[in-house]
């Protein structure tokens, strides 16, 4: 499939292929948006480059996906925006099932703090160097990661501890 890129995104693809050619894996488009898949190691440098050189100053979201039964099971997708040219760009990296660790991008965008915590909470992907690495929706005592595909829809009975005494009514 041929790519239809505007000036900004063409600049991004050219810039990445000349500076980070070893990291770049594929560039494709789906439903008007451009996705760039790269190696996970240099994600921090790459994001920094995109923010400083290509003005992607607004990080809208970070999300995880579970490619259950595939190699490199998890995917982390960074959804960022260039407010000057109003372009949206998605950067993707893939993470191994065993010991999934990614470097944090919180030094680049402060907004990443809660997004990364959410990815960790739902998929168990840890973010190295995160300043406040806790779960966000589930309690810290919870052992499972609910959005993984093998987690049952009805939940696991008894997995959340409930108070064993009736509360004090005074």
Partner 1 sequence: MKPTDINSKVKPLFFKEHQRGIYKSLEDKHTTIEEIDSEDPLNSKMILNMGPQHPATHGVLRLILQLRGELIEKTKIDIGYLHRGVEKIAENKTYQEFMPYTDRMDYLSPYSNNVALCLAVEKLAEVEVPERAQYIRMICSELARISSHLLWLGTMVMDAGAISFFIWTFREREKIYDIFDEVAGHRFTVSHSRIGGVANDFTDDAVARIKEFVETFPQELKDWHGLLDRNRIFIDRNKDVGIVKTEDALDIGATGPVLRAAGYAVDQRIITPYLRYDKVDFEIPTRLEGDNLARYFVRMEEMAESIKIIEQCFDKMPKGPIRTNNAKQAYPSKDEVYYSMEGMIHDFMMTDTGICPPAGKEVYHAVESPKGELGYFIQSDGTGHPWRLKINAPSFRNLQVLENILDGEMVADTVVIIGGIDPVMGEADK
Q: Which of 5, 13, 27, 35 binds partner 1 (CB under 8 A)?
A: 35
Give the burial class of 166: count Cβ atoms within 10 A of its Cβ; 0-12 exposed, 13-18 middle, 19 or more buried: exposed
* Measured distance CA(64)–CA(58) in Å, rounded: 19
- 126 near partner 1, judged by CB under 8 A: no
CB of 99: closest distance to partner 1 in angstroms? Answer: 21
Place of tokens 């052992």: 143
Considering only residues 41 to 60 of the shown chain, the ones binding partner 1 according to CB under 8 A are 57-60
* Total count of residues recorded for the chain: 170
* Measured distance CA(28)–CA(84) in Å, rounded: 22
- 79 near partner 1, judged by CB under 8 A: yes
Q: In what order do the strands lie in the sheet with 58-66?
A: 24-30, 33-38, 87-95, 74-82, 58-66
- 98 near partner 1, judged by CB under 8 A: no
CB of 18: closest distance to partner 1 in angstroms? Answer: 27
- Residues forming contacts to partner 1 in the complex (CB under 8 A) are 30-33, 35, 57-61, 63, 65-66, 77, 79, 83, 86, 88, 90, 109-111, 113-115, 118, 122, 132, 134-141, 146-147, 151, 153, 161-165
């Amino acid at each position: 499939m041929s790519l239809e890129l505007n000036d900004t995104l063409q600049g991004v693809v050219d810039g990445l292929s000349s500076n980070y050619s070893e990291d770049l894996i594929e560039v494709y488009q789906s439903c008007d948006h451009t996705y760039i898949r790269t190696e996970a190691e240099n994600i921090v440098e790459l994001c920094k480059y995109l923010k400083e050189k290509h003005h992607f100053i607004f990080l809208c979201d970070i999300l995880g996906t579970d490619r259950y039964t595939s190699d490199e099971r998890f995917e982390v997708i960074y959804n960022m925006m260039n407010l000057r040219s109003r372009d949206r760009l998605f950067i993707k990296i893939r993470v191994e099932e065993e010991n999934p660790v990614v470097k944090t991008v919180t030094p680049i965008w402060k907004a990443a703090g809660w997004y990364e915590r959410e990815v960790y909470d739902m998929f168990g992907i840890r973010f190295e160097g995160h300043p406040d690495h806790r779960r966000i929706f589930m309690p810290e005592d919870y052992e499972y990661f609910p959005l993984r595909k093998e987690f049952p829809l009805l939940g696991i009975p008894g997995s959340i501890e409930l108070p064993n005494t009736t509360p004090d009514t005074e």
